[in-house]
Chains A and B, each alone.
Chain A
Amino acid sequence: MLPVEHLHLEHVLQTVSVLESVILRSFGPEGGQVLFIRDTGQAMLSRSGTHILTALRLDHPLARMVVECVLKHSSVTGDGSKTFILLLASLLRMIHTAACKGTNVSHAYNSRKAAEAATARHLADKLLAFALEELADVIAMGVVPYGYCISWEDFTAKTQSPAHTNNNCVQKLLASFFLSRLGRTHCDFISNLTCELLSHWKFKNNQPPFTLQFVNDNLPALHTPVSGFPISCSRLIEGQVIHRDFATPCPQTDHHPVKAVVFTRYLQPKLLSAGEVLELGYGEQGKERSIVQFSAWAERSLECVIANLQSLGVSVILSAVKQSAAVLALAAQADMCIVECVSEDELSLFAQLSGARPASDCWMIESDHVATLTFCRPILLGAHRYVFLSHPYSVQVKPCSLVICGPGEGQTDQYACAFRDAIHMLPSKRTLQSNKNTSLEMENQIASAPPFQKCVLEPGCVIPAGGTFEFLLNHALLQHHGRSCSVSDDTNMGIPAVSQLLANVLLSLPRQIYSHSPRCFLQTQTRLLKADVSSKVFMLDLGLESVSCKYQLLLAVLQCVSSLLQVDAVLRTQTALRTQSHRLPNISWEGTEDEAEE
């Protein structure tokens, strides 16, 4: 007989509250970092909710189910995992209170707990139904008018003029993203750096999304982490960094331009490949065949390759593999320098920027394999000496690399990671905004929400951060509640209660944000509710967040609650670890959920 563990509402609430207490430590302006020590002993810092939740390695099936939901949500929007947990906890708490109060109505259940569970489940379903049907409209009426629409014009305007213009929405958006990921101290500095990088990589003939895609794809090759320096030393440098050192003495003279070739294979021919047999002794004609002849032939052929490269004027060889000592020596004698073991990412970026084809066969080098560079020299970044090269300016863009400095590796990693996610987040905002033009992106929308709600999503609307969305929606929901009360007296009793409950849940977020001073909470709320729709200057310093992301978040939380409350028991099955069981992948909650379906 399997051990059955009955799940009650309190258990669910308890589990989620534990998660909440962890998340709270890094939530909002008062929140801090979480330090992880990996199983390898490596330290990692993060404020990202998804990182924290996955690093916990939870055991409880319910908690794992919640984490799964959060990950699913944040993989779509790239953000909002901490808010997810807080909303979830607060929602469950409200439902719990409501369920405890409302249970005496029903008599059909054989225990009070079961009755509570039924009420809670019912309430959750109603909440979800309400959100699916009406929430979009409420947001459209009550929140969207206070928002802005960001467009690419803002983006380009910002990056050309220095900071501090009022409509640099992209920078604000990035700033609030970095605020939530890196903390207050460096968020402005890093968001400026990001904008600067994006403006450098603006391809003249292409749409901005192309830039984002390009930077996103090439980020590993575009940044260099350097530890031992303060974060404020992070900077952009114009040119491409190859994260390897010269294998031969580096070029002594700076003759311009520099010609370079990329090789993907060995330059020295292998005498014998596997499976071949070399016979040493006396040949048919009585001529002696000695091993020395073979190696002499190999060296001569190598000399020819180098001579050929020299005739093409090549002075830099970038190689994907390690070359033999003979290659290095001969190249050095021919005044060429070699960079070995260059990573694939860097070679692909190099090929894109230079337009030269990588050469795989050293016998077939033609002029289209030869790239022209303005310079190629060593650069010292932290402990390492790297190769720094620059492509001629004719390539539409100003290629530049990002140097991320930090006192330790934990920090540079954290910054690089936040940087990647920020670039990742931006296209998703773009998608929301530009779906008038492209039908492809529309499908993403429809997949996540019923079609009639696109009125909310369409504007790609952003709103000041710092609880603005929650205050406004709370207000709108309460008004909605009032209206539906007067319109339909007792035919639809559920809806007003539901919208009121949701409104209260929303306020839990700004309560956390302003947890250090309740006065600030009230001040902000009053100021917002008094504010005129047209006066959009309020709280520009708080950063921005996307309305549609918030909406999707609410829906995801409600969905999660209703599925959480569906579960009524956990069955702990025993699986011997040694036998390769087919049931291993779904050992946890997935199985129990099936059981719970009545």
Chain B
Amino acid sequence: MSRLVKKSPSLCTDLPLDNTDIRNKLHLLWQLLRSCFGPTGRLKQVHNNIGGHVVTTSTSSVLLPAISSSQPFINLIKTSILNHVSRFSDCGLFAAILCLSLIERAKRSGLRGSVAISVNKHLLGLCTGYLQGEDCGCKVKLDFCSSLSLIKLSRSIISSKPACVLTEAEAVHISKLAVQAFLLTVPCNSPGIVRLGKIVTVSVEGHSVLNSAVFPGLLVDMPDVFGLNKVENLHSNPLRVVLFSASLAGDLSELGDGIIEVHPGVDTDAQILDQLLELGKRVVAEEVKLFVCQKVIHPVLQQYLRRHGIIVIERLGINVMEPLTQLTGAQPVATLHTTIPAKAYGKVRDVDIRQFGSKTMLHLHPPGESAICTMILCHRNETMLSELKVVCQKTEHVLRLTLREPSALLGGGCTETHLAAYVRHKSMNEVTETASALGCTQTEYFLGVEGFCRSLESVAAALEHDGGNCLIDLTHAHHWTLPADVITEHMEDSLGLCGCGVMQSSPNKKWTYLSTKYPQFSPAPLSRDTTVQPRVLDSFTAKLNALQVAVETANLALDVRYVIQDTN
């Protein structure tokens, strides 16, 4: 039968951004993401229509994949943001909110698409140039001599994820653990190219967060406590380890496609088992104390090895294989017949048993310095635990990024307002040349600048969810929040600290509401000798990339004039 089916014509949408339906959908997405942003963001529950388990989250990397839309436009933006998050782990919501408000403001300003795009691109250049420059007023150098600023950075990430449901003390504990684990993965004295180690995360449900801990070395699951009673005897330091990557269950792979004819009376299984026991004998003779296999080990062989006082770990899984080879220095063996060369054996200094709730784990201590560590994460229930796990992985990634670029940006919305003030000031000063270089009129240029700066400021304002007012001070252009129930007379008393916590309110400061027009000024950098350190820090690398991705994605969306959907 012929499978020829008539192709139906494609579905076309002309000028998608002029379409109210699409605009409404984009606005809805903006509202949804905005409400999740920051430490006081509202959580979202995601559950599917077939009764899967409910996920509570406010993280873009969990939330965005859950949003599926028939609208290709939404998917376009979603993919861009998710790609950014998968590379940098942070600032996903920042990028999404900025991108969506750039699109909305550009459309509302009525600028021609090409003008809006070129102005946005120019202003992005201004921003990245300023952020990367030496005299950037919203950047702080990270000091690796003390772990304090690293803890602050990880704390900002962890506290921006309210779905973890952490108390103040718990958040501090987890931030410290994250930094401790990160520092353990940085090898101290290895010459040449530095290879970072790995954090293996184990999650334990039903325990207090404060029980979470970090251990140097590796903790592997030991479901079978049965064979462990002899562990105490194992103190012939260090212990010899052998690591198998092939199955030891007695199956022969790689035989080929031919036919095997077995004569009666020949017991192939017994022959193979003999061969396995032969291997066991050799291992015993080599004084191996820890026998690890990635796959399944034949029960008879297991029994044999245990009888000889060897700890057997099977079904390790591919993920733990690499850290284990790094930890022990062993090379995986996949042959049954050839002799195992001496250097294929590895070592562990010591083993002991640790109990976490229902989990019994074998702790393998590294023989020397090693960049492998295990992080045990505990939380009260599964949902919070899975969010906490995601957050800790993100934190680790962000901390790693600081090794390339040891800087951080002021958090709490201060970077956004500061940047907006800088862009306003800068573009005002060079309007004539820029407008002619971009091929637009000065009015068009100002409209573009206004849209760009307002979008940046709206991201800072998105941090506020409790009806408070957002303000900006007129010297450093930091972001301040005025709680909703405050009368304006006592403004400076109730303002307290700015978003990043580096500045304190004082009577000689001037403020203005973020949504109002203010005279442009050059935002002052932080004074060098200040003893006050910012309380909230954002990842520099992640935010810089997020800014670029957001503007490029917005430009792309503004550039799309036609959508063709193949409905076949």
Interface residues, chain A, with chain B CB atoms under 8 Å away: 21-22, 25-26, 29-39, 43, 45, 52, 55-59, 183-185, 227-232, 249, 253-254, 268, 270-282, 290-292, 295-296, 298-300, 302-303, 324-326, 328-330, 332-333, 382-383, 406-411, 516, 577-580, 584
Interface size for chain B: under 10, 10 to 19, 20 to 34, or 35 or more residues?
Answer: 35 or more
Chain B residue nearest in CB terms to A377: B193
Instruction: Please indicate the chain A residues that have their CB under 8 angstroms from the CB of B87 in the complex.
Output: 228-229, 382-383
Instruction: Please indicate the chain A residues that have their CB under 8 angstroms from the CB of B266 in the complex.
Output: 280-282, 290
> Could you tell me the distance in whole angstroms from the C-beta of A448 to the nearest C-beta in chain B?
31
- A34–B560 contact, CB under 8 A? yes
* 27 pairs, A vs B, C-beta closer than 8 Å: A22-B562, A32-B561, A56-B9, A56-B564, A58-B9, A185-B555, A228-B86, A254-B193, A271-B254, A272-B260, A277-B261, A281-B263, A282-B266, A290-B266, A291-B260, A292-B274, A296-B336, A298-B254, A303-B338, A325-B334, A326-B334, A328-B332, A407-B549, A577-B2, A577-B5, A580-B2, A584-B4
- A330–B334 contact, CB under 8 A? yes
Q: Within residues 208 to 265 of chain B, which ones have a CB less than 8 A from any CB in chain A?
A: 245-246, 252-265
Chain A residue nearest in CB terms to B254: A324
Instruction: Please indicate the chain B residues that have their CB under 8 angstroms from the CB of A279 in the complex.
Output: 261, 263
Instruction: Please indicate the chain B residues that have their CB under 8 angstroms from the CB of A45 in the complex.
Output: 556, 560
> Could you tell me the distance in whole angstroms from the C-beta of B155 to the nearest C-beta in chain A?
26
Interface residues, chain B, with chain A CB atoms under 8 Å away: 1-2, 4-10, 12, 14-16, 72-73, 75-76, 79-80, 83-84, 86-88, 112-114, 117-118, 121, 192-193, 245-246, 252-266, 268, 271-272, 274-275, 322, 325, 331-338, 341, 343-344, 545, 548-549, 552-553, 555-556, 558-568
> Could you tell me the distance in whole angstroms from the C-beta of A81 to the nearest C-beta in chain B?
15
- Give A409 to B331 CA distance when docked, in angstroms: 38
Instruction: Please indicate the chain B residues that have their CB under 8 angstroms from the CB of A31 in the complex.
Output: 561
> Could you tell me the distance in whole angstroms from the C-beta of B338 to the nearest C-beta in chain A?
5
Instruction: Please indicate the chain B residues that have their CB under 8 angstroms from the CB of A35 in the complex.
Output: 16, 72-73, 76, 560, 562-564
- Give A174 to B338 CA distance when docked, in angstroms: 60
- Give A228 to B546 CA distance when docked, in angstroms: 9
- Give A229 to B81 CA distance when docked, in angstroms: 10
Instruction: Please indicate the chain B residues that have their CB under 8 angstroms from the CB of A183 in the complex.
Output: 117, 559
- Give A185 to B553 CA distance when docked, in angstroms: 12
Instruction: Please indicate the chain A residues that have their CB under 8 angstroms from the CB of B343 in the complex.
Output: 333
In the complex with contacts A227-B83, A290-B268, A25-B15 CB distance below 8 A? yes
Instruction: Please indicate the chain A residues that have their CB under 8 angstroms from the CB of B264 in the complex.
Output: 281
- Give A577 to B331 CA distance when docked, in angstroms: 61
Instruction: Please indicate the chain B residues that have their CB under 8 angstroms from the CB of A329 in the complex.
Output: 245-246, 331-335
- B257–A36 contact, CB under 8 A? no
Find A299's partner among B4, B80, B337 (CB 8 Å cutoff): B337
- B265–A281 contact, CB under 8 A? yes
- B245–A22 contact, CB under 8 A? no
- A410–B76 contact, CB under 8 A? yes
Find B331's partner among A272, A333, A410 (CB 8 Å cutoff): A333
- A282–B566 contact, CB under 8 A? no
- A25–B14 contact, CB under 8 A? yes
Instruction: Please indicate the chain B residues that have their CB under 8 angstroms from the CB of A36 in the complex.
Output: 563-566
> Could you tell me the distance in whole angstroms from the C-beta of B270 to the nearest C-beta in chain A?
10
Instruction: Please indicate the chain B residues that have their CB under 8 angstroms from the CB of A407 in the complex.
Output: 79-80, 83-84, 549, 552-553, 556
Find B561's partner among A33, A326, A330 (CB 8 Å cutoff): A33
- Give A328 to B86 CA distance when docked, in angstroms: 30
- B258–A271 contact, CB under 8 A? yes
Find B562's partner among A34, A274, A277, A410 (CB 8 Å cutoff): A34
Instruction: Please indicate the chain A residues that have their CB under 8 angstroms from the CB of B275 in the complex.
Output: 292
Chain A residue nearest in CB terms to B548: A230
- Give A579 to B2 CA distance when docked, in angstroms: 7
Chain B residue nearest in CB terms to A268: B254
- Give A253 to B192 CA distance when docked, in angstroms: 9
- Give A516 to B192 CA distance when docked, in angstroms: 59
- A26–B561 contact, CB under 8 A? yes
- B334–A328 contact, CB under 8 A? yes
Find A333's partner among B86, B272, B344 (CB 8 Å cutoff): B344
- B549–A37 contact, CB under 8 A? no
Chain B residue nearest in CB terms to A295: B252
> Could you tell me the distance in whole angstroms from the C-beta of B80 to the nearest C-beta in chain A?
4
Counting from the closest, the 4 A-B pairs by CB-CB distance are: A281-B263, A272-B258, A329-B334, A272-B256
- Give A577 to B553 CA distance when docked, in angstroms: 44
In the complex with contacts A56-B9, A249-B325, A278-B259, A37-B566 CB distance below 8 A? yes
> Could you tell me the distance in whole angstroms from the C-beta of B513 to the nearest C-beta in chain A?
32
- A325–B246 contact, CB under 8 A? yes
- Give A22 to B114 CA distance when docked, in angstroms: 18
Chain A residue nearest in CB terms to B547: A230
Chain A residue nearest in CB terms to B120: A185
- Give A22 to B86 CA distance when docked, in angstroms: 35
> Could you tell me the distance in whole angstroms from the C-beta of A86 to the nearest C-beta in chain B?
15
Instruction: Please indicate the chain B residues that have their CB under 8 angstroms from the CB of A295 in the complex.
Output: 252, 254-255, 336-337
Instruction: Please indicate the chain A residues that have their CB under 8 angstroms from the CB of B566 in the complex.
Output: 36-39, 55, 57
Instruction: Please indicate the chain A residues that have their CB under 8 angstroms from the CB of B257 in the complex.
Output: 270, 272-274
Chain A residue nearest in CB terms to B121: A185
- A578–B2 contact, CB under 8 A? yes
Instruction: Please indicate the chain B residues that have their CB under 8 angstroms from the CB of A584 in the complex.
Output: 4
Instruction: Please indicate the chain A residues that have their CB under 8 angstroms from the CB of B88 in the complex.
Output: 228
Instruction: Please indicate the chain B residues that have their CB under 8 angstroms from the CB of A278 in the complex.
Output: 258-261
> Could you tell me the distance in whole angstroms from the C-beta of A376 to the nearest C-beta in chain B?
13
Instruction: Please indicate the chain B residues that have their CB under 8 angstroms from the CB of A382 in the complex.
Output: 87
Instruction: Please indicate the chain B residues that have their CB under 8 angstroms from the CB of A300 in the complex.
Output: 337-338
Query: Which among A36, A184, A270, A407 has the greatest number of chain B C-beta atoms within 10 A?
Result: A407
- A57–B549 contact, CB under 8 A? no
> Could you tell me the distance in whole angstroms from the C-beta of B227 to the nearest C-beta in chain A?
26
A sample of 8 more A-B contacts (CB under 8 A), given A35-B16, A329-B333, A407-B84, is A33-B559, A34-B561, A35-B563, A57-B7, A230-B545, A291-B268, A296-B337, A329-B335
Instruction: Please indicate the chain A residues that have their CB under 8 angstroms from the CB of B263 in the complex.
Output: 279-282
- Give A409 to B562 CA distance when docked, in angstroms: 19
Chain A residue nearest in CB terms to B261: A279
- B563–A37 contact, CB under 8 A? yes
- B113–A30 contact, CB under 8 A? yes
- Give A298 to B336 CA distance when docked, in angstroms: 11
- Give A295 to B337 CA distance when docked, in angstroms: 8
- Give A324 to B435 CA distance when docked, in angstroms: 63
Instruction: Please indicate the chain B residues that have their CB under 8 angstroms from the CB of A229 in the complex.
Output: 87, 545, 548-549
In the complex with contacts A270-B256, A292-B275, A326-B246, A33-B560 CB distance below 8 A? yes
- B114–A411 contact, CB under 8 A? no
Find B72's partner among A43, A185, A302 (CB 8 Å cutoff): A43
Chain B residue nearest in CB terms to A288: B266
Instruction: Please indicate the chain A residues that have their CB under 8 angstroms from the CB of B15 in the complex.
Output: 25
Instruction: Please indicate the chain A residues that have their CB under 8 angstroms from the CB of B338 in the complex.
Output: 299-300, 303, 330
- Give A25 to B563 CA distance when docked, in angstroms: 10
- Give A303 to B549 CA distance when docked, in angstroms: 51
Find B112's partner among A34, A228, A516, A577 (CB 8 Å cutoff): A516
- Give A328 to B318 CA distance when docked, in angstroms: 14
- A185–B118 contact, CB under 8 A? yes
- Give A272 to B262 CA distance when docked, in angstroms: 15
- B80–A408 contact, CB under 8 A? yes
> Could you tell me the distance in whole angstroms from the C-beta of B272 to the nearest C-beta in chain A?
6
Instruction: Please indicate the chain B residues that have their CB under 8 angstroms from the CB of A58 in the complex.
Output: 9
- A52–B337 contact, CB under 8 A? no
- Give A58 to B261 CA distance when docked, in angstroms: 61
> Could you tell me the distance in whole angstroms from the C-beta of B498 to the nearest C-beta in chain A?
29
- A409–B259 contact, CB under 8 A? no
> Could you tell me the distance in whole angstroms from the C-beta of A493 to the nearest C-beta in chain B?
43
- Give A193 to B86 CA distance when docked, in angstroms: 26
- A276–B259 contact, CB under 8 A? yes
Chain A residue nearest in CB terms to B84: A228
In the complex with contacts A34-B561, A55-B564, A577-B2, A280-B268 CB distance below 8 A? yes
> Could you tell me the distance in whole angstroms from the C-beta of A279 to the nearest C-beta in chain B?
5
- Give A580 to B4 CA distance when docked, in angstroms: 9
Query: Which among B16, B87, B113 has the greatest number of chain A C-beta atoms within 10 A?
Result: B87
